[in-house]
A and B are shown apart, each in its own frame.
Chain A
Amino acid sequence: MTVAKPLPHDSAALHVTGQARYVDDLPLPEGAVHLAFGTAPVAHGRLRSIDLTKVRAADGVLAVITAADLDHEIDVSPSPSPEPLLAGDTVQYVGQPVFLVIAESHLLARRAAALADYDIEELPAILSIEEAMEAGSRFEEGPRIYTRGDAAEAITTAPHSLTGSIEIGGQEHFYLEGQAAAALPQEAGDMLVYSSSQHPTEIQHKVAHALHLPMHAVRCEVRRMGGGFGGKESQGNSLAIACALAARLTGRPATMRYDRDDDMTITGKRHDFRIDYRVGFNGEGRIAGIEFLQLCRCGWSMDLSLPVADRAMLHADNAYFIPNMRVESHRLKTNTQSATAFRGFGGPQGMVGIERVLDHVAHAVRRDPLDVRRANYYRPLAGASGGDISEQAKTQTTHYHMPVEDFILHEMTERLVETSDYRARRAAVAEWNARNDVLKKGIALTPVKFGISFTLTHLNQAGALVHVYQDGSIHMNHGGTEMGQGLFQKVAQVAASRFGIGIERVKITATDTGKVPNTSATAASSGSDLNGMAVQAACDTIRERLAVFVAERAQARPEEVRFEGGKVLVGGEALSFDEVVRDAYMARVSLSSTGFYATPKIVWDRIKGEGRPFFYFAYGVAVTEVAIDTLTGENRILRTDILHDCGASLNPALDIGQIEGGYVQGAGWLTTEELVWDGKGRLRTHAPSTYKIPACSDRPDILNVALWDGANREETVYRSKAVGEPPLMLGISALMALSDAVASCGKAYPDLDAPATAEQVLRAVERVCT
């Protein structure tokens, strides 16, 4: 069976030869125009006027468009709260698009865009979380609150309590291919759009709205992205719409790509958070209650901030049963880039909050943080430890009242502690630290429990279209997009397995809103869960028709027909798949089908914070060991061991790739990747020269990754589990290992903020030593 084979990425051969095409590589018809945005130079202000004389007169400029030139307000927002394509009277962050230049080349458009003279009355800008809280600058009327039990009471009556706070910085996606789009005018005013987008249906919808067209007049095609990570869920809307407007205006194909500095200045990033906590616990570190205050900086527009902040609340428990819990979440509006989706979608920030609490509590009770973590884990599954039917064995629920029915972290932790030799290494670290004053080591194990499904329940649906041609070759299409994660290959493996044929018979085709409509973004790690099932449904419909057809001929029952090894087995006879297909065609059997899937079991009330928002949880555990230089704060990761749960993997090689890449990206977020805005709201880290993305020499010297060998207990496609986002949070072990190293320098708790850059580590060392 093709499923479960470690096949290479579907486009591997094209990538290594440079033949794989991204949006900016597409050969466009003669005469394409190129676009660039002119952007706001101040963080907040009233735009009195703008003098575009020099822009218009610049070399190669064909037209310049401002908000006043548009016949209606063009909305680029993915949320119900509108976000104008071009700023009107007010500008709301440094980098906000104000006008659009249409020129003969990319370079000429960018040069002209820098020539505007703005007359702006500057207004006070709200930049920080604290300023926003003070000014009451927020989305939604007030905070969202999810509770279970009485946290305040539990904390007061607990033997011990403590309070703390952690700042968690944002993160730039740095998808290696920047945002890009192209639009080609078609007959009768229709528009064809190519976009580097995780959400083709939204591009179609937004372009249709901008051009006053029904959605059927716009088609969006996405073959692949050069990385997405959530940054292409909504942030590509502006470029696609701009291209469509320019194409309509000029009657020529239009294309746009952001230069890297523009990309970093204009587009949203991961939300930064401040999380305050108050926790009550006993002498062993068993937690009785926690109050979390999550302050989330959303930037100037709503974008996807509400579901992001919700997901942070939903992961405030991570792997721990907290009997009394209160999570209060504020979604703050600031004059900065509109923060957006980023791998984990708020989950990582919520998880860092609770892992920080566990680390802090363990420090207070002077125990190995691993033991305190385990003492607070959700209960093992009933029966897993030969348990009985007593109260002790009942399934526990999360603080949003969802039963945790698949908790496998006890067993996973046990195994990783063994394979990583955690106990001995922890002793060795302690010994090293006793002997060395300058270089200190630290080690930490952290778990991940990540909820799988979109929390907006209606998004949990997918469609597919499968054709079997007369020669037995197969054309497969679905609503998911390929951004490097290997979705297309995994889904093709599903299709090949359903028909019992080789993967080379399955043609993977670009995501196309004309083939499969009304799709959800490829996000929330749901790509293969949803689209794999939809493709499976489409294949099974055709397979069923073929089975009925051959069974009738062989006087057998359709249930007895099997599809294996390129053969169709019926009544002791083995026919070739191609032959059966040809005969079925001759007999006028339909060889094409759509497929559809909607995730079962989920119900969720996001206002009350009650229900089952997730179909299941994906789990992982990581041990990271680090060393720090206490004189400079410099640090590095020495060794990482990971055990991750992908259910029954559809493709172990691709899954391991996701795990390794996710870990490195997560560790980067929490250690070196620092975004810095100055007092005027200008992002000063807008290129990789100042924003430190992990390089090849930064990765751990030793990196061991293993997959947990268990099937998903829920009925997912071949019992696999989603893998896109969860491994990012394995990187939290790096932050906690740094905390452990710093803690070895003295008595006080390190109180390390994220990212734990060298400066942060040095400051923490100084704090702990004094």
Chain B
Amino acid sequence: MESLSLTVNGKPVSAEVEGRTLLVQLLRETLGMTGTHVGCDTSQCGACLVHVNGDVVKACTMFAFEADGAEVTTIEGMADGDDLHPIQEAFRTHHGLQCGFCTPGMIMSAAALLKENPKPTEAEIRHHLEGNICRCTGYHNIVRAILAASGQPVPERTATATADA
């Protein structure tokens, strides 16, 4: 067992963990923060994305003690109280989710992109999200949500519907 201390979503935490404990286990099992998901266990799907000292990290691929002393931000730290982060709000209103399992990772990934590149093109968004798998949406609405979150126009849908939607 090793003891470590870090800051998670602005709050200091300390824990005793085995050396082989992964950051995602620390978050989910020790700290009970289950918003960070495990989709593939092997750093390929992006469901477990968090920020460590501002960098995007797949939490299933980092040991907990590697985050000793670090500032970690998870999906639970994105909203400001009841006020959703603009990216969260955009995913909600632009239907950037279905089953929602990929959503926390997608939002963390998008946040990192917009920090580097506040007005990304559609192509840049798609390229950036290559490490995040979504099996439900076909990605279209995810890209639209990120465009909206960056304050750019969202391409009109051609969709017509029966009802006065």
* Complex partner residue of A17 from B84, B99, B136, B141, CB under 8 angstroms: B84
Distance between Cα atoms of A88 and B160 in the complex (Å):
57
Q: Is A225 an interface residue, CB under 8 A from the partner?
A: yes
Cβ B41 vs Cβ A693 within 8 A = no
Q: Is there an interface contact between A261 and B41, defined as CB atoms closer than 8 Å?
A: yes
Are A696 and B130 CB-contacts (below 8 A) given A260-B39, A705-B157? Answer: yes
In the complex, which residues 115-165 of chain B have their Cβ closer than 8 Å to any Cβ of chain A? 125-127, 129-130, 132-143, 157-165
Do residues B163 and A695 form an inter-chain contact, with CB atoms below 8 A? no
Q: Give complex CA distance A173, B135 in Å.
A: 9
Query: B138 contacts A177, CB within 8 Å?
Result: no
Which of B51-59, B64-72, B101-109 sits within the interface? B101-109
Q: Is A695 a contact of B130 with CB atoms below 8 Å? A: yes
| Min distance, Cβ A474 to any Cβ of chain B, angstroms | 22
**Contact A656–B76 (Cβ < 8 Å):** no
Chain B residues within an 8 Å CB radius of A24: 34, 38
| A177 touching B39 in the complex, CB below 8 Å, given contacts A17-B79, A665-B135 | yes
CB-contacts of B28-58 with A (<8 A): 28, 32-42, 44-45, 47
The answer to whether B130 touches A697, judged by C-beta atoms less than 8 angstroms apart, is: yes
A172-210 vs B: 1/0 string, CB under 8 Å? 011111100000000000000000000000000000000
Instruction: Name the residue on A nearest B141 (C-beta).
Output: A657
> Across the interface, which residues of A come within 8 angstroms of B99, CB to CB?
175-177, 224-227, 483-484
B14: CB under 8 A from chain A?
Answer: no
Partner of B159, one of A483, A695, A705: A705
A665, B138: Cβ atoms closer than 8 Å: yes
Within 8 A of B (CB), among A439-477: none
Min CB distance A329 to B, Å, is 29
Kindly report which residue of chain B lies nearest to residue A705, judged by CB atoms.
B159
Please report the total number of B residues contacting A with Cβ < 8 Å: 62
User: Chain B's nearest CB lies how many Å from the CB of A726?
Assistant: 15
Judging by beta carbons under 8 Å apart, are B163 and A699 in contact? no
Report the bound CA distance from A653 to B78 in whole Å: 26
B158 touches A484 (CB 8 A): no
Main secondary structure of the interface of A (DSSP, over half): loop
Residues of B within 8 A of A689 (CB): 42, 44
Contact of B37 among A12, A13, A175, A226 (CB under 8 A): A226
Please indicate the chain B residues that have their CB under 8 angstroms from the CB of A704 in the complex: 158
Instruction: Write the B61-96 contact mask toward A (1 if CB under 8 angstroms, else 0).
Output: 000000000000011101100001000110111010
Asked if B100 CB lies within 8 Å of chain A CBs, one says yes
- Identity of the chain A residue whose Cβ is nearest the Cβ of B76 in the assembled complex: A18
Is A12's CB under 8 angstroms from B91's CB? Answer: yes
- B116–chain A nearest beta-carbon distance, Å: 17
* A:645-666 near B, CB below 8 Å: 647-649, 652-654, 656-657, 660-665
Contact of B40 among A12, A226, A227, A687 (CB under 8 A): A687
Contact: A6 with B165, CB < 8 Å?
yes
B-chain residues with CB within 8 Å of residue A14 when the two chains form the complex = 100
- Residues from chain B with a CB closer than 8 A to the CB of A260 are 39-42
With A15-B97, A652-B159, A687-B44 in contact, is A660–B141 under 8 Å at CB?
yes
Contact call A15/B45, Cβ cutoff below 8 A:
no
Evaluate whether A16 and B135 lie within 8 angstroms (CB atoms) in the complex, with A703-B140, A705-B159 already known.
Answer: no
Question: Is A707 part of the binding interface, using a Cβ–Cβ cutoff of 8 Å?
Answer: yes
B34 and A25: CB pair below 8 A? yes
B residues less than 8 Å from A225 (CB atoms):
99
A214 within 8 A of B: no
Q: Is B98 an interface residue (CB 8 A)?
A: yes
Most chain A Cβ neighbours within 10 Å, of B42, B88, B139 = B139
Residues of B within 8 A of A3 (CB): 163
A261 to B164, CA, bound (A): 46
Q: Which residues from chain B contact A15 at a C-beta distance below 8 Å?
A: 91-92, 97, 100, 103-104
Cβ B133 vs Cβ A693 within 8 A: yes
Given contacts A4-B161, A176-B39, contact A16 B141 (CB under 8 A): no
**In the complex, A426 Cα to B135 Cα: how many Å?**
31
CB proximity of B156 to chain A, nearest CB, Å: 10
Q: Mark A661-685, 1 if CB is under 8 A from B, else 0.
A: 1111100000000000000000000
Q: Report the interface size for chain A: residues with CB under 8 A from the other chain.
A: 71
Q: Which of B37, B79, B141 contacts A177 (CB 8 A)?
A: B37
Q: Establish whether residues B159 and A699, one from each chain, have CB atoms under 8 Å apart when the complex forms.
A: no
A654 to B88 alpha-carbon distance, docked (Å): 18
Residue in contact with A707 in the complex, picked from B28, B126, B159, CB distance below 8 Å = B159
Q: In the complex, A694→B130 CA distance in Å?
A: 9
Contacting B92 at CB < 8 Å: which of A16, A687, A697? A16
Q: Is A711 an interface residue (CB 8 A)?
A: yes
Contacts of B75 in A (CB 8 A): 16-18
Q: Which residues of A contact B133 (CB under 8 A)?
A: 174, 176, 688, 693, 695
Q: Is A19 a contact of B35 with CB atoms below 8 Å?
A: yes
| A654-B136 CB under 8 A given contacts A4-B163, A697-B130 | no
Find chain A residues with CB under 8 A from B165 CB. 4-6, 649, 652-653
Q: Do A176 and B160 form a contact, CB below 8 Å, given A226-B37, A699-B138?
A: no
Tell me whether B84 and A16 are in contact (CB under 8 A).
yes
- Which residue of chain A has the shortest Cβ distance to B101 in the bound complex? A226
Contacts of B100 in A (CB 8 A): 9, 11-12, 14-15, 20, 224, 226, 484
CA distance A694 to B34 in the complex (A): 26
Residue A486 interfacial (CB < 8 Å): yes
5 A-B pairs whose Cβ atoms sit less than 8 Å apart in the complex: A24-B38, A654-B95, A660-B137, A662-B138, A705-B158
Known A4-B163, A661-B138; 17 more pairs at CB < 8 Å: A3-B163, A4-B161, A12-B91, A13-B84, A16-B91, A16-B92, A176-B136, A261-B42, A484-B136, A652-B162, A657-B98, A687-B42, A694-B138, A699-B126, A705-B157, A709-B161, A709-B162
Which residues of A line the B interface, CB within 8 A? 3-6, 8-9, 11-22, 24-25, 27, 173-178, 224-227, 229, 259-261, 419, 483-486, 647-649, 652-654, 656-657, 660-665, 687-689, 693-697, 699, 703-707, 709-711
- What residues of chain B have their CB less than 8 Å away from a CB belonging to chain A? 28, 32-42, 44-45, 47, 74-76, 78-79, 84, 88-89, 91-93, 95, 97-104, 107, 125-127, 129-130, 132-143, 157-165
| Closest 3 A/B residue pairs (Cβ) | A18-B35, A484-B99, A4-B163
